[in-house]
Amino acid sequence: MPAWARAGWQRNSLSTPVVALLIVLVGFQYAAQAPINGGLGRTVGPLAAALVSFSVGATILLLICVVSGEISSFSAIGDVPFWQLLGGAIGASYVAIAAITISRVGAGVIAAVTVTGQLLCSVVIDHFGWFGIEIHDVTPARVFGLVLLLVGAMAMLYSREEATEGLDAEKGVGGMFEGGANRERLLICVGIFLAAIAVGIQHPLNSELAGSIGDFPSGLVNFLTGLTVLTIVVVATGRWKGLGRIREAEPQYFLGGVIGVIVVVASLAAVTVIGAAGLTSALVAGQMIGSLVLDRTGAFGLTRIPIDRIRLAAAVALLAGTFLATG
């Protein structure tokens, strides 16, 4: 996002609802990243797929920086505090943890725990105005909006788990966490929750970095840092061997990095306008609604899941929660 556009968003307080809606749309397309990376992962493996996704994103941003002339902004990176460079490492670490643990706890559990951790962290950041974010006090309306978001996300996840795994309706939401008392699963969930809290810091960190070196260079640093972390993880775990099958993957499964670039750059411009909690809320709402559409159409190899009353109600709750949380 060019600096003039970011400045325009910041100056015009009336644009806040519009910015929130745009981020919902960004979240909508963000929902496709997981199934796209999953499709690539079926060929090369989950961790190797994440590595490829970050590589594509880094390449795109490098080309943008070169063409736009913003590559020169990297000369200022030596004056940037080290902690501002951690956004990419946080994102890549979360991706690696999720890829390694998803087979043990399931996608539904990971998504629910992630939403909770991210929202909690974002509300705290907004309340105290950390990382240069304008202070957004915790009001009853914002709290109610966050509750609606969490309820909507849980309902969407429960509905999907029930449809794909045939959970008995009498089990309720607890069925999604069946066996959660198991020590290993509990420890994994705690680890994912802590990682999700860190993810809540990622966008404000990237925004701080963008203030020093520019939006696109900041995005490139984010991807390069994440790429370094994932390369270390992939090599250390021996998952690099799957990259030998990369030519067998279908072209559409290389779009994950493109989507990642859109999310990072849009978030850089939006976080200072709607706050960390508003950004997270809008992204979550868009992701969940996007997931509903993707499930209905069976895109990218997903199992077709009909849109029932629970899923429609969840979508309404997500949109209403986003409106209240960003107000």
pLDDT digits (tens, 9 = 90+) for 204-215: 888 788 878 888
Instruction: Name the residue among 63, 75, 56 with its Cα closest to residue 226.
Output: 56
Q: What proportion of the chain, given as a percentage, has pLDDT over 70?
A: 80
CA distance 141 to 285: 17
Q: Is residue 7 part of a domain?
A: no
User: What local confidence, expressed as pLDDT, does residue 43 receive?
Assistant: 87
Q: Is residue 185 part of a domain?
A: yes
Q: Is residue 127 part of a domain?
A: yes
- 147-194 pLDDT, tens per residue? 887 787 777 766 666 665 553 444 444 444 444 445 777 787 788 888
- 96-151 pLDDT, tens per residue? 787 777 666 656 566 667 777 777 787 788 777 777 667 777 778 778 877 887 78
Q: Is residue 82 part of a domain?
A: yes
Q: Is residue 10 part of a domain?
A: no
User: What local confidence, expressed as pLDDT, does residue 1 receive?
Assistant: 47
Q: What proportion of the chain, given as a percentage, has pLDDT over 90?
A: 4
Domain hosting residue 293, numbered range = 17-325
Distances (CA, A) of 150 to 153, 266, 312: 5, 23, 15
- pLDDT score of 301 more than 70: yes
How many domains would you assign to the chain? 1
CA distance 128 to 134: 9
Q: Is residue 11 part of a domain?
A: no
Listed in sequence order, the residues at least 6 apart from 214 whose beta carbon sits closer than 8 Å to its beta carbon are 3, 70, 73
- 55-76 pLDDT, tens per residue? 999 999 999 989 988 888 777 7
**DSSP structural state of residue 303:** P
User: What local confidence, expressed as pLDDT, does residue 62 receive?
Assistant: 92
- 232-272 pLDDT, tens per residue? 988 988 888 888 898 888 888 888 889 888 988 888 778 77
User: What local confidence, expressed as pLDDT, does residue 106 receive?
Assistant: 58
Q: Is residue 12 part of a domain?
A: no
User: What local confidence, expressed as pLDDT, does residue 9 receive?
Assistant: 45
